[in-house]
Amino acid sequence: MIKKAGIVAKRNKKEAIEASRNLITWFQARGVEVVLDEELKKSVSGKYKSLSEVDISQLELLVVLGGDGTLLSAARLIGNGNVPILGVNLGGMGFLTALSLNELYQVLEKFFSGSYETEKRMMLISTIIRNDAILAEYLVLNDVVLTKSAIARVIDLETNIDDYYLTSFKADGLIISTPTGSTAYSMSAGGPIVFPSLHAIILTPICSHTLTNRPILVPDSSEITVKISAESEDVFLTFDGQVGQSLGAGDLVKIKKADHPIQLVKSPFKDYFEVLRTKLRWGER
């Protein structure tokens, strides 16, 4: 039996708000204290604490009602909190939130009885360094993306793996992805699909101007350093496609595996390969 659970819902989606109300009632009937994200708290009646008002590491479960984007935000919110995340797909593609709303309560019953499994997903920590000082740090579950602005020229990204020079990517950008993020932007740019539990980081150039540049996997023990060349201007750094930071010539971006992974509650109804077949329509003509 759990005592405290959190709920994060997709903003401005009526289905997510209604599902949240039903879930709150379900939790309260079982004596579970419910904590809500800020936007959801404004949309439901009653007195509830928000996630910003509690120690998130004390939650025993976080239910995410939305799409993969909502779950990515929740993962960054949890950070190193080691809280199991149960994702319910009310959005589009749904690689991370593979559970349907119809399956939610069956899985919750299993969670309450202890007959459930979680899978660990690696996160990356990205550090921006300017003039030898740390400018900012961000956690991501999917990817870190360096791109040019709409009118910028091709950018030059000098890339090192640990103490070894890899190459200078002359491209429209570079994606540094976790295995979880391999089915996101990296896949669209021609990167490989990587099984989520593999210990690797993927580097995928975007529209490389050197035909021999190809995606590469490196060990997840690696630290990747990308330097913005003096000739490159208007470079933009994006984290999970949701948070951004402008970069200038000489800036460094260091990316490595975060100290702690997140935990996703596994669906008992479908495995990863079934999710791939369904979402990517493999085998269909």
- DSSP-assigned letters across all residues of 3-42: SEEEEEE-TT-HHHHHHHHHHHHHHHTTT-EEEE-HHHHH
- For the chain, helix (H) and strand (E) counts, in that order, are 6, 19
Query: Residue ranges of the chain with pLDDT lower than 70?
Result: 91-93, 150-152, 232-233
**9 and 63 Cβ atoms separated by less than 8 Å:** no
Rounded to whole angstroms, the Cα distance separating 238 from 9 reads: 23
Give the pLDDT score at 151: 66
Length reported for the chain: 285
CATH class given for the domain over 124-257:
mainly beta
For residue range 2-19, what is the model confidence (pLDDT) as tens digits? 899 999 999 878 899 999
pLDDT confidence of residue 132: 92
Task: State the catalytic residues.
Answer: 68
Distances (CA, A) of 142 to 73, 124, 202: 11, 8, 11
pLDDT tens-digit profile of 164-199?
999 999 999 999 999 999 999 999 999 999 999 999
Homologous superfamily (CATH) for 4-121+261-280: Probable inorganic polyphosphate/atp-NAD kinase; domain 1 (3.40.50.10330)
User: What are the residue boundaries of the structural domains of the chain, listed by start?
Assistant: 4-121+261-280, 124-257
d(CA 268, CA 33): 25
Rg (the chain; Cα; Å)? 20
